[in-house]
Structure 1
Amino acid sequence: MASLTWVVSFIAVTAIIFFTGTESDTSLACSVIQGLPGLNGRDGRDGINGLKGDPGAQGTPGSSRTPGMRGSIGPPGKEGPKGNVGLNGLPGQKGNSGAQGVEGPKGEKGDNSGQSATLTNVLNRLSSLERQMNQLKQSISSKMKALLFARGATAGEKTFVTSGKELTYEESKAMCLKAGGQLPLPRNSEETKAILDIAQYYNLHVYLGITDIQTEGVFRYPDGKTLTYSNWNTNEPNQDGDEDCVEMLLSGKWNDRACKDKRLNICEFS
C-alpha cells in the first residue's frame, strides 16, 4: 500500500512539471497557479534484499581503561564463636641441641672490704665470748671443787653430790628430781668408786636408782631397761621380804633393801 501511494505521488509531480514547462514555452505572460499538495500516496512494496556488502576496514582499537585505586580496608568483623578444642597432635621429634654459647668475659673482682670488716667483727665477738666462757669454766670449776671437797665426787662425765640427809627411797628420789638430777645409776667400777667415796665419808649406806618394782625379781633402770652392770654382794639379791630397792654397802657391793628404810641421799648429775 505504501509503494502504490509513492508511485501515484511520483506521477502527479511529473505531470505538474511537464505541464508547467509547456505553458511557459507557449505564453510567457500566463501566471502560474500553484496547486494544492496532493494526498500522500500508499506505501510502496518492500524491495528485494540487496547483496551483502564487503566488510569494512578494521577500526582502531579502543584505549584500555586504567585500573582504579584500591579501596581502603574495611572495619574488622565481629569475632566468631569459639571453636571446639582440637585433638592433641602427635609429639614432634626431638630437636637438635643448640650450639654452645660463647663464654662471656670474666667480671671484675668485687670489693670485699665490707665482708672483711664484717668477718673481723664476728671474729672479735667470738674471741670475746671464748674469753668469757673460759672465765665461767674456771669459776664453776673452782666452786665445784669446793662443793665436792666435802659433799661430792666425779667420775667421767658424771658428778655425784649428797645433801647429807638420810631419806627413804621415794624421798631421796624426789629430792634428786627437784634438783635436776636422779638417784645414782653406776654403770662401771669408776662410777661405783665415786659413790662409795661419799658413802664412806659419811659412813652410811646409799640408795641407788635401781628397783624390781616393775617386775618382781628383775631389777631395772628407771627407764625400764635391764641392767648392763651390777655389783651384787654374795647371795644377793635374795628377795627376803619386801625388798624392791637397792642399796650400796660400805664395801661397794649391792644389796636389795626395803624401800621404806632410810639411807644417805646422793644424786647423780650428768
Structure 2
Amino acid sequence: MYLLQFFTTLVVGTLLGCIAAFEASRPEANTCPVVACAASGLPGRDGKDGMKGEKGDQGVGLKGQQGSPGKAGPPGPVGMKGPRSEKGQKGETAAIDAVQSQVTALENKLQALQAEHNKYKKVVLLQGLTVGQKTFISTHQHDTFANGRARCAKAGAALACPKNADENAAVQELAKRGAKFAFLDVNYLQTEGHFVYENGKALEYTNWEKGEPNNYKGTEDCVVITPETAQWNDYSCEQKGLIICEF
C-alpha cells in the first residue's frame, strides 16, 4: 500500500516538474507535451481484468486410473423385519436320529421279552423234566385222550410221546406224582391193529408190558404208561388219565 502511494506521488511530481520546465522555456504557452514527459516516467498500474470468456470444448485425453476407495460411511439404520419363510423339510440327520431311536426302542423291547421268556423257561424247567431237546411237563390234570391232546396243543405243545428209554423214564417220573397212568400220544384209531404216532408214522420205540397190547374187549385204542413199571399198556381212549405235554 505504501509502495503504491510512493510511485503515485513520484509520477505526479515528475509530471508537474516537466510542465513547469516546459512552461519556462516557452514564453507563449507555458506547457510541455505529456507524451514527452511521460516517456521518461515509470510504468503505470495494470488494468482491471476483463470479462470471463466462454467455456471451451473439452479436450481429448486418456482416462486416468480409478483412485483408491474412500473410507466406509457410517452404517445405515436397521431395516424392517421381513416375513417369516415356510418351514423347510426335515433334514437327513433328524431322520437318521428318529430311525435310531426306533431301533433302540425295539432293542429294549426285545430284551424285555427275552428276560420274560427266560423267567417262564426257568419256571417250566422247575416243574418239568428235560431230556435232550425235549421238556416234559405235567398239567396235573386228568382227562380223556382227545381232551388231553387238545390241552397240549393249546399250549403250543404235543401230548407226551417218548422215543427212547431216557424220555420214557422222564415221563414215568412225572406220572409217579399222583397218577395211576398217563396217556401217550400213540394210538391205532386210524390204523386198526397197528399203533402209530399222531402223524401216522410207525413207532420207533416201545416198552410194552408182557402180553400187551391185547385190545381188551376191542375198546383199547390208546396207550398209557404205568408209573410203577414205566411200561406201556393199551387202554380205552375215553378213560381219564394224567395229561403230560412235551415241548
Q: TM-score, normalised by structure 2?
A: 0.52
Find out whether 1:208 has 2:184 as its counterpart: yes
Corresponding residue for residue 239 of structure 2: 261
| Distance 1:149-1:205 versus aligned 2 partners, 3 A rule | same
2: CA distance between counterparts of 1:201 and 1:133? 37
Corresponding residue for residue 157 of structure 2: 181
Corresponding residue for residue 164 of structure 1: 140
The one-letter amino acid of 1:192's match is N
Identity %: 37
Find out whether 1:229 has 2:205 as its counterpart: yes
Secondary structure of 2:139 counterpart: strand
Once the two structures are superposed, residues 194-246 of structure 1 have per-residue CA deviations (whole angstroms, 9 ceiling, x without a partner) of 21121112334110110011122200011111111111111111111210000
Which structure 2 residues correspond to residues 125-140 of structure 1 after superposition, within 5 A? 139-140=116-117
Conserved in 1, the CA contact under 8 Å of 2:179 and 2:242? no
Corresponding residue for residue 145 of structure 1: 122
| Distance 1:190-1:130 versus aligned 2 partners, 3 A rule | farther
Corresponding residue for residue 246 of structure 1: 223
2: CA distance between counterparts of 1:190 and 1:142? 26
The one-letter amino acid of 2:226's match is L
Once the two structures are superposed, residues 58-84 of structure 1 have per-residue CA deviations (whole angstroms, 9 ceiling, x without a partner) of xxxxxxxxxxxxxxxxxxxxxxxxxxx
1: CA distance between counterparts of 2:210 and 2:111? 47
Secondary structure of 1:214 counterpart: coil
- Structure with greater Cα Rg: 1
2: CA distance between counterparts of 1:179 and 1:238? 33
Aligned with residue 192 of structure 1, among 140, 165, 168: 168
By how many angstroms is 1:153 displaced? 1.6
By how many angstroms is 1:141 displaced? 3.7
Q: TM-score, normalised by structure 1?
A: 0.48
| Distance 1:132-1:196 versus aligned 2 partners, 3 A rule | farther
Unaligned runs of 5+ in 1: 1-125
1: CA distance between counterparts of 2:215 and 2:154? 30
The one-letter amino acid of 2:130's match is T
2: CA distance between counterparts of 1:248 and 1:153? 16
Corresponding pairs, count: 152
2: CA distance between counterparts of 1:159 and 1:169? 20
